[in-house]
Amino acid sequence: MKAESRKRPLDRLLELERLFGVDFLPLSRSTLRATPQPPPSPVVAAAAPASIRPRPAPPRVSPVPAEPMPPEFARWRDEVLQCRKCGLCEGRTQVVFGVGTLKAPVVFVGEAPGADEDRQGEPFVGRAGQLLTRSLLKIGVRRDQVYIANILKCRPPENRTPKPEEMVACTPYLLKQLEWINPGRICALGNIAVQALLGTTQGISRLRGRYHDFQGRKLFATFHPAYILRNMGQAEVFEDDLRTVCRDAGLPAK
């Protein structure tokens, strides 16, 4: 029983790596063993004078005003925000529709919202999303120049893998977004997004770094940024993939 309980964290890590990045684990077992740390000693800090207390961070502001939505698109978006087509509606905070310009030459597609996205109503705003934003900025591309969405628009409980019936219910929303935007390129992030869109069981390690046909559009497959967070040695590969798809889409990526 004890041996089984020790295996569970490793099994969970293997599952996360498979979903977000690759179908192999480039780490030895010794590096995966958690080292218990002693609890920090309690420290009582004196209150800083009001004159030197840090000011609260300013609210996040979009670099450019949001473009007005076409009335028909705005009405359809309002309908999607009220969706109850599957059981995920029962546990969500809000629908995470998508963000970006409807003139985007490239659309990035992930798997599903996480806790931060569910709370804020915007895709890719947590740690993985911040890495995606930074990686785009490093190649000279801003978030407001692209469009970002997910296969699912509601968060699965505990960020579990989306169920087939949930993806079947939600994918038509993504397809209609793609019709509206009509991007020159699609970039799928991670195993779930790539496999769901391409209808394949092949892993991201085999599919990444090249284009595939998706309903007459060019779909580029790459890692999910959550995988890069745990494997920063692949950060340059990820940035090169973003550079390739953005340049091919006509964005001035450096």
pLDDT at residue 51, as a whole number = 42
pLDDT at 31: 41
Q: How confident is the model at residue 224 (pLDDT cuts 50, 70, 90)?
A: very high
**Cβ-based burial of 44 (10 A; exposed 0-12, middle 13-18, buried ≥19):** exposed
pTM: 0.77
What pLDDT, in 10s, does the model give residues 44-94?
444 444 444 444 444 343 344 468 899 999 999 999 999 999 999 999 999
Q: Which pair of structure tokens corresponds to residue 96?
A: 């995470």
Cα dihedral value 120, 123, 127, 133, nearest 10: -120
**pLDDT of 23 higher than 80:** no
167 has a pLDDT exceeding 50: yes
pLDDT band at 186 (very low <50, low <70, confident <90, very high): very high
Q: Considering the chain, what percentage of its residues have pLDDT values greater than 90?
A: 73
CA distance 19 to 161: 8
| CA 135 vs CA 98, 173, 177, 221: distances in Å | 19, 27, 24, 16
Mean pLDDT, rounded, of the chain: 84
Average pLDDT over residues 209-213: 98
Cα(115)–Cα(67) distance, rounded to whole angstroms? 27
pLDDT value at residue 67: 81
- The stretch 236-249 carries a mean pLDDT of 98
pLDDT of residue 68: 87
Look at residue 222 and tell me whether its pLDDT is greater than 50. yes
For the chain, domain boundaries: 71-249
For residue 20, what pLDDT is reported? 55
For residue range 139-163, list pLDDT tens digits in order: 999 999 999 999 999 999 999 999 9
Q: How many CA atoms lie within 13 A of 23 on its CB side?
A: 12
What CATH class does 71-249 carry?
Answer: alpha beta
Lowest mean pLDDT among 9-13, 30-34, 108-112, 206-210: 30-34
Q: How confident is the model at residue 27 (pLDDT cuts 50, 70, 90)?
A: very low
Residue 16, pLDDT score: 53
- A 10 A CB-CB count for 237 gives 15
